[in-house]
Chain A
């Protein structure tokens, strides 16, 4: 059980990484909501995912 819980804990870091990757990809290349306003929104929304993946927070 302890091992499983730790594995799940790591999985959530993986999820954060995958979502962060897609946000980063969409920051540079996306079909909807073009323009600098959403560039800024994408840019700051990536921050928590990146920090989580890098084990900073």
Chain B
């Protein structure tokens, strides 16, 4: 059984690598790997499994589209240029501005549990400002990525922890300090590491290069769409029984409507239609990725490969789990997205619980390791969005090298929590 499933896994990995090399499309390569896996597993051409898999991440795809439409409409109104100009004009210190940008990045992801939302909402603004602070394109994309994954892990909403605790019948309580402290440490390190040596351009030069803000764009018009978005998110978090369940995509659509109403420039319906068409082309690789990943994961589950990966990892000796956690968990995140928390996270919580270790700290530690995989194949969702938002033209490997140190620090802190969870229980 193990041998058969391992061979299926090998066939899928080989077909993915070959298709990626020949076709240069990770999305189609995932679909091909799914079909090859099903054929190797004796499922025939798995139409039902594939079509059902296409629906796994459909909501996420709709969220990506709606968030991208919001950001592009917001930028189209000129609000992004205006706020960049105002920030550059009023804050002189490079470090202070970097800290502000880090906080901007952390808030949307912390409230929604998705790092990609942070990138969609403020990624363009943050990357523009930090580039003017003297950070290279590579460092800017690293800044955006690291704070996006930190925002996803930050309290109050950490989806990995929520999924693990729900599966393990644990209360989602006591995680705030456990998650916030490592995130603050890694965040501070990232700011110093990426900002060190960067020379801020003169204020006059930056302002001369920045596009002019449209006439009539004031603070009210700038903040109104963002305030509506933040207000809706907070309402759904703190008054869940008093407001209908809107869902993030609808919140973004409502904020887009407000952005359209706040636009000081005249724009026709045709302009917006074309803008949405361009946005769809821009966001399509991501939509295709999440949809293809769904099909791939469905086949992985149907052929038993998912079980093979999960069982192999959690039945390792504890020392091997410590040694390989930083490898297995991020790669599982790259392949299964939030499903990694359920497949690997929950069994590990039971394992550590049986050994008398503090499971709250263990769950927090694991939820700090999983986000690292957001830059790993096959999906690489947050990594790819970061590169596309910043417009990074370099190779993906050079991006990975740039983020290696902050990500390793995050992994090291999480591993320390995993190895000695009882020593960190005072943070509960």
Contacts and interface: CB of A to CB of B under 8 A. Distances in A.
A25 B276 CA distance: 12
Chain A interface category by residue count: 20 to 34
B291 interface: yes
Contacts of B287: 23, 45
Interface in B124-165: none
A12 B291 contact: no
Given A12-B62, A37-B24, A45-B288, A22 B277 contact: yes
B244 A5 contact: yes
Contacts of A5: 244-245
Q: Which secondary structure characterizes the binding site on chain A?
A: helix
Contacts of B246: 8
B280 A19 contact: yes
Contacts of A32: 281
Interface stretch (B51-59, B94-102, B191-199, B371-379): B51-59
A38 B301 CA distance: 26
A4 interface: yes
Contacts of B249: 12, 15
B391 interface: no
Interface string B1-45: 000000000000000000000011101100100000000000000
B258 interface: no
Given A15-B66, A19-B62, A48-B54, A4 B244 contact: yes
Interface in A4-31: 4-5, 8, 11-12, 15-16, 19, 22-23, 25-26, 30-31
Interface of A: 1, 4-5, 8, 11-12, 15-16, 19, 22-23, 25-26, 30-33, 37-38, 40-42, 44-45, 47-49, 51-52, 57
11 contacts: A5-B245, A8-B250, A12-B62, A22-B276, A23-B287, A26-B277, A33-B281, A37-B25, A44-B54, A51-B55, A57-B51
